[in-house]
Amino acid sequence: MAEFLGTAQAFDLSVSVLYYLRAIGGFLLIFIIPGLVWTLVIFRKLHIMERIVLSFGLSIAIVTLVNYIPSKAFGLPITVSNVLISIAAVIGLALLLHALRKFQESRARNQ
C-alpha cells in the first residue's frame, strides 16, 4: 500500500509541474509574445520595459480581434486549435515583417 501511495504522489507532482508549465506558457503565448513581436514591427527604438508594457495591451487587443473577427465573419468556433493557429499566424506575420525591414535596412546601409 505504501508503494502505491508513493507512485501516486510522484505522478501527482509531475502533473502539477506540467500544469504550471502549461499555465506559464499559455500566459506568455496570449498576453506577451504577440504584442512583443508587433512592437518590434511598429516601434523602432524602445526601451525593453516600454516594449514589455506595450506588448501586454497590444497582445490583448490582437488576440481578441484575431479570434473574434473570424468567429463572427465566417462562423468559425473558438477552439484551442483555432486560437493557437491564429496566434501562430499573427506572430509569424510580425516576425516576417520585422525580418524584411531589417533586411531592407541592412541593404540600404551597404549601398
Average the pLDDT over 59-71 and give the result: 95
* Residue 78 belongs to domain spanning: 32-110
Please answer whether residues 52 and 71 qualify as being in contact, where contact means their C-beta atoms are separated by less than 8 angstroms. no
- Does residue 8 sit within a domain? no
Alpha-carbon gap, residue 27 to 23, rounded angstroms: 6
Q: Structurally, how many domains does the chain consist of? A: 1
What is the pLDDT averaged over residues 11-39? 88
- Residue 6: predicted pLDDT: 52
- Is the residue at 47 inside a domain? yes
pTM score of the predicted model: 0.80
Q: Residue 10's pLDDT is what? A: 53
Whether 87 is in a domain gets the answer: yes
Residue 87 phi, psi dihedral angles, 5° rounding: -65, -40
Q: Is the pLDDT of residue 99 over 80?
A: yes
**Residue 5 placed within a domain:** no
